[in-house]
Amino acid sequence: MKKLILSIACTAMAMSATAESEFKYPMTREMHNPLFVEFPSPMYGTDSIGRMYTADASGHVWKDGRLYVYASHDLEPPQGCDRMDRYHVFSTDDLVNWTDHGEILSSYDVMHQSGWGIEGWMWAPDCAYNPKNGKYYFYFPHVKEALPWGGHEWRVGIAVSDRPDGDFHMAGYVEGAPSLIDPTVFVDDDGQAYIYNGGGGQCAGGKLRSDDWTRLDGEMQPMHGLVDFHEGTWVHKYNGKYYLSHSDNHGTDGNQLRYAMSDSPLGPWKDMGVYLYPTGCWTSHGSIVEYKGKWYALYHVNNPSGRDELRSVCIDPLEYNADGTIRVVRNWGTPRGEAPMMLSADKTLKINATDFNNGGEHYAYHKFNIEAPEVGKSGNEEYIKNVGRKEWMRYSVNAKETGKYDITFIVAAKVPDTKFHLSANGTSITGEITIDGVSEKFTNITVNGVTINADVEYLDLRCDNGRFDIKSIIITPVH
């Protein structure tokens, strides 16, 4: 079995090597959220080239002042997350022009340089710089050998280089680290390096030896005080406090990113809540980094592909309150009017579908293949037409207080089995709604007694299947 997998791996590598040799790295392009999709990427097991998909971004600013992003590489066509492979490193010095430095490590390299590991399964990585020896340490979770799903032993692999952007060579794995995914390394101001990993509800942390960042100094311990921990640990320091951020197990519209604070890098931690609402992608995984005096959140979405296993890294500003707490990342554009539309217990709110937020693709809507949602006209009324599967529009609203509402959608399905839902701050509040029949005529569909919380910032109208036109959403308080 192992032999077969190895031979498939070698064939795939040989074919993609042909394709990749046509690329000249480094390769720089101007880019906006979602990032890196304009770079080429080999398609799994063929010699054709597709779009680059990336996830699990770890951001670092190194000696040269550039912001580097170490990300997972979702290969197309995906097979769950099994085929993730061939890490690339990206960097920028202006957040507009991004450089792909090319592939820095693959599962093939691990197998051939270290003698363990299987094809694919190269999940969320991180990188750390040790100023004492001038070396960059690339940490990544990888499966030791092929076993049935669930039986896998995960190792924290390590590759080392004198450069941040390539020339990494395997230097073993972190012996004694628990069999968990998503390793990350935080280096404190005194030079002490701490390593963390975690997944499936468990998070562990410990020290690396000061004379050898490939080895633990003592045992890794469970991190206490985290709430609803799922995976994707990241630790940073701000104004003398330690922050551990991670994804949670939130269901609808995907996981959220939460954070906890502590006076010590190994906790105990105090959960401080959510800093990134669900984006519509099943997984969420982020990092927080200071760059040129400002702070940024890196995270991923699935908008460009519409698939949970083909993700794309994004970056947005992150802000702290005066007390050191983190504000929720504002990746929802700005209201079309002067202020968010107001929801209150004494008035019906009519949201015209065409009044989606300002801010464009990624912030205010997602539309495949064309620039913006299509606008149609019915009599004097404008409407949005052809909202397709995994497309969405976003509307800024405020609620005076938490309340119950009846919500009516004025819609027309264009194909059978059309389904959609409405979310508040990335959480579905209506559940999936099916539009019966296909018609040119608009019809009213009402969902009764929907709770909308006072903290609502925006509503997303998301198409789950099929295609529909929509005129408006009418939100009536229930008394």
Task: List active site positions.
Answer: 56, 231
- Going from the C-alpha of 479 to that of each of 83, 211, 341, 415, the distances in angstroms are 53, 67, 20, 36
How many angstroms separate the CA atoms of 285 and 298, rounded? 8
What is the identity of the amino acid at 292? Answer: K
Of 75 and 452, the one with the shorter C-beta distance to ligand FUB is: 75
Nearest CB to ligand FUB, comparing residues 20 and 182 = 182
By the rule CB under 6 A, 76 interacts with ligand FUB: no
359 binds ligand FUB, rule: CB under 6 A: no
Please report whether residue 232 would count as binding ligand FUB according to CB under 6 A.
yes
Burial 364-386, CB ≥16 within 10 A → b, else e:
bbbbeeeeebeeeeeeeebbbbe
Q: Which is nearer to ligand FUB, 181 or 301 (CB)?
A: 181
Q: How far is CA 384 from CA 158, 397, 461, in A?
A: 50, 19, 12
* Residue whose tokens read 């090319």: 102
Would you count residue 72 as binding ligand FUB (CB under 6 A)? yes
Residue with smaller CB distance to ligand FUB, 232 or 280: 232
Q: Is 156 in the site for ligand FUB (CB under 6 A)?
A: no
- If one asks whether residue 181 binds ligand FUB (CB under 6 A), the answer comes out as yes
- Site map 78..97 versus ligand FUB, x via CB under 6 A: ---x--x-------------
Interface pick for ligand FUB out of 73, 258, 285, 366 (rule CB under 6 A): 285
What is the Cα–Cα distance from 233 to 177, expressed in whole angstroms?
15
How many residues in the chain? 479
Q: Give the count of beta carbons closer than 10 Å to the beta carbon of residue 61.
A: 15
Q: Which of 31, 71, 124, 413 binds ligand FUB (CB under 6 A)?
A: 124
Q: Does 55 bind ligand FUB (CB under 6 A)?
A: yes
Distance CA 61, CA 65 (A): 6
If binding is defined by CB under 6 A, does position 123 make contact with ligand FUB?
A: yes
Interaction between residue 298 and ligand FUB (CB under 6 A): no
- The answer to whether the peptide bond before residue 34 is cis (omega within 30 degrees of 0) is yes
Rounded Cα distance, 122 and 402, in Å: 43
Q: How many residues bind ligand FUB (CB under 6 A)?
A: 13
234 is an interface residue for ligand FUB by CB under 6 A = no
Q: Check binding of 56 to ligand FUB (CB under 6 A).
A: yes
CA distances from 58 to 138, 298, 387, 432 (A): 11, 7, 33, 34
Q: Which is nearer to ligand FUB, 231 or 355 (CB)?
A: 231
Q: Which is nearer to ligand FUB, 182 or 361 (CB)?
A: 182
Q: Is 254 in the site for ligand FUB (CB under 6 A)?
A: no
- Enumerate helices (H) and strands (E) in the chain, giving the number of each: 2, 35
Using the rule CB under 6 A, which residue among 231, 248, 253, 361 binds ligand FUB? 231
Question: What does the binding site for ligand FUB look like in residue numbers (CB under 6 A)?
Answer: 55-56, 72, 81, 84, 123-124, 181-182, 231-232, 283, 285
